[in-house]
Structure 1
Amino acid sequence: MMTPHISDLIIYPIKSLKGIHLSTVDVTNRGLANDRRWMLVDENGTFISQRKHPSLALLKQEIKGNEIHISHSQTGEELLDFSMEEPNTTPFEVTVWDDSCLAKPVSEAADTFFSDYLKMPVRLCYMHEDSNRQADQHYAVSEADQVSFADGYPILIISEESLDLLNSKVNEPLSMNRFRPNIVLKGLAPHEEDTLKEIVINGLTLHGVKPCARCVLTTVNPETAEKGKEPLKTLATYRKTGSKILFGENFIPASAGQLKVGYAVEVKERKEAAIQ
């Protein structure tokens, strides 16, 4: 049987924009380096995402040197670039779901671009090093566990086999991009990631803490920004428990480290999956 290993690594520097596929990435206590360290917020400081603004799916982000470049995925038009350095601006309070923390505005130019694009006043903000947002303590390993602007936990892992099973049940194949994982594994049984309580990759320990409940964001086609009924319609037939539809597992890193596509996964401890 194939040894479980990493087949893809993805970061989403600005929350809810397109992901960046990497061959190697550093891991910090907040998750993969540069993952969801930037976020768009409305006038009240509340995060915005593809859930209500699907056109964000068409914004491609690239890291070039020490800058992030934004372009339109369909036209190729270059739209914005800004420095990845911590802005020298005054922090303000922002909200991600039930959490509040401090973030720094990036620039007026970034605010203007995104406000024009979304046709509403928004600000682009950065989670600076001194900003503190705890991982959801209902499932976190310790009080010291932190998270970026991700929904709740630092790292989301999904196996290729889980997607293959889903695609065997839908009319048109769906890409992994819909589910926005950070680490994609290959060599597991479908949804075996749900059972991984502790794994080690390249000396880095990762704790599987909670299955990922999926929302309408997964119904946004990442190539066209159009909404549909899949994958939630099909997932509801075999991945539903109570009112939640599960796909993927949230993980918390025990320390800093480095991951690379191809690295093997050593399973140290298992747990019972939420859906049998």
Structure 2
Amino acid sequence: MSSASPEFQARIARLFAYPVKSCAGVELTEAVLTETGLDLDRAWMVVDAKGQGVTQRELPRLALVRTQIKHHEVVLRAPGMLALHLSIDAVEEPVRVRVWDDEVPAYDMGAVAAQWFSDFLGVALRLVRFDPEHRRLSSLQWTGGVEALNQFSDGFPLLVLSEESLAGLNTRLAAAGRAAVGIERFRPNLVLAGIEAHDEDRIAELHIAATQPVWLQLVKPCPRCPIPNIDPATADTDPVVIDTLQAYRHDPRLEGAITFGMNAIVREGEDQVLRVGQAVTGRWHF
């Protein structure tokens, strides 16, 4: 861990986990930090008949699948559907699936879950659970060689965003006569308060005041696909969000890609509890 003195102070404003990749997230008041991110984050994924993971990019109505975490189960609800109850500790047969370019071992969640997603989305689908024994690494290029694990996330264990970054976007949307959008569209895990807009771009590491030290390293800007254009309440798509970001968020670190938020890895603090309101200190990247 760096011995440099903290150069800024902030706090955790909001916490989100996304148990089923690309379905609606769960806002939490506290969450256990694991080596793959927040507990149960992207532990499940919907796959097509070929075992390829699907997201809101192809099936926007995944946004309408609401998630609730209970003690021993995750409960999924969607318009017109009875609730689907997933036992956290139960799976069926092992399978191989693909999340982007990675082929990974997983466990099929059975015929009932498959039929539920297929009926709701109108295409043959199955639900799978990540095999926790598998070590799926984040990009070593961006982690500087650190072996950072993740489950079915796009590529990194955590996504960090600030309240002020969203406020800046909403100011631009208002100036264009458009409605404000919620931070849920950007699917962050940690939302910070107390820093300026896009300060997360310039943060090297975060230290969180838990029972034991927590050290998160911010490693890669998050390039944005069209998912933020999808209204999480209706699944309707409007290009205004990405179009607005196009005006001011071209990132030279990613060859001009549109970025919003920073991907982070866990360097220290596995099994610690993160809570809304916790103090955060950190070091700027120079």
When normalised by structure 2's length, the TM-score is 0.90
Does the 8 Å CA contact 2:161/2:190 hold for their aligned counterparts?
yes
The whole-number CA distance in structure 2 between the counterparts of 1:57 and 1:104 is 23
Structure 1, residues 115-172: CA drift from partner, whole Å, max 9, x if none?
A: 1111111110001221221112221244531111010100000000000000000021
Measured in 1, the distance between the counterparts of 2:75 and 2:205 equals 36
1:240 aligns with 2:250: yes
**Partner of residue 149, structure 1:** 152
Q: Which residue of 1 aligns with 2:85?
A: 81
Counterpart amino acid of residue 166 in structure 1:
L
Cα distance in 2 between the residues matched to 1:167 and 1:14? 28
Tell whether the 8 Å contact from 1:104 to 1:126 is kept in structure 2 after alignment.
yes
Report the RMSD for the aligned CA atoms in angstroms: 1.5
How far is 1:111 from its partner? 0.6
- Given that 2:140 and 2:147 are in contact with CA atoms closer than 8 Å, whether structure 1 keeps it comes out as no
Retained in 2: the 8 A contact 1:86–1:126? no
| Alpha-carbon separation, structure 2, partners of 1:223 and 1:95 | 28
Answering whether residue 21 of structure 2 is matched by residue 15 of structure 1, we say yes
Residue 189 of structure 1 corresponds to 196
AA aligned to 1:174 is V
Q: Give the distance between the partners of 2:256 and 2:199, measured in 1 at CA.
A: 21
Q: Judge conservation of contact 1:101–1:132 (CA < 8 Å) in 2.
A: no
In 1, Cα distance between equivalents of 2:43 and 2:190: 17
Structure 2's unaligned 5+ residue stretches are 1-7
Query: Alpha carbons of 1:121 and 1:80: their partners in 2 closer, same or farther (altered >3 Å)?
Result: same
Residue equivalent to 1:198: 205
SS in 1 for 2:62: helix
1:270 aligns with 2:281: no
CA distance in 2, matches of 1:141, 1:85: 34
**Counterpart position of 2:50:** 44
Could you say which residue in structure 2 is the equivalent of 1:101?
Answer: 104
Equivalent position amino acid for 2:201 in 1:
D
Does structure 2 conserve the Cα–Cα contact (< 8 Å) formed by 1:43 and 1:122? yes
Within 5 Å, give how 1:192-231 maps onto structure 2: 192-202=199-209, 203-231=213-241
Where 1:221 maps in the other structure, the secondary structure is coil
1:102/1:132 contact within 8 Å kept: no
Partner amino acid, structure 2, of 1:212 = C
1:168-194 per-position Cα deviation (integer Å, ceiling 9, x unaligned): 000210100100000000000100011
Aligned to 1:250: 263
Partner of 2:185: 178
What amino acid maps onto 1:30 in structure 2? T
Which residue identity does 1:49 align to in structure 2?
T
User: Counterparts of 2:147 and 2:199 in 1: how far apart (Å)?
Assistant: 28
Q: What is the distance in 1 between the residues matched to 2:134 and 2:126? A: 17
Residue type of the alignment partner of 2:226: V
Work out whether residues 4 and 186 of structure 1, in 8 Å CA contact, stay in contact via their aligned partners in 2.
yes
| Cα drift, residue 56 of structure 1 | 0.8
2: CA distance between counterparts of 1:125 and 1:247? 29
Q: Is the 8 A contact 2:76 2:84 kept in 1?
A: yes
Which residue does 2:117 correspond to in 1? 114
Matched residue type, 2:264: F
Query: Whole-Å Cα distance in 1 between the matches of residues 188 and 263 of structure 2?
Result: 9
Q: Secondary structure of 2:237's match? A: coil
Q: Give the alignment of 1:123-138 within 5 angstroms.
A: 123-138=126-141
> What's the offset of the Cα at 1:85?
0.7
**What count of residue pairs does the alignment treat as equivalent?**
267
Which residue is 2:274 aligned to?
259
The 8 Å contact of residues 16 and 57 in structure 1, kept in 2 or not, is answered as: yes
Distance in 1 (CA, whole Å) between partners of 2:217 and 2:135 is 21
State the distance in 2 between where 1:141 and 1:109 align: 42
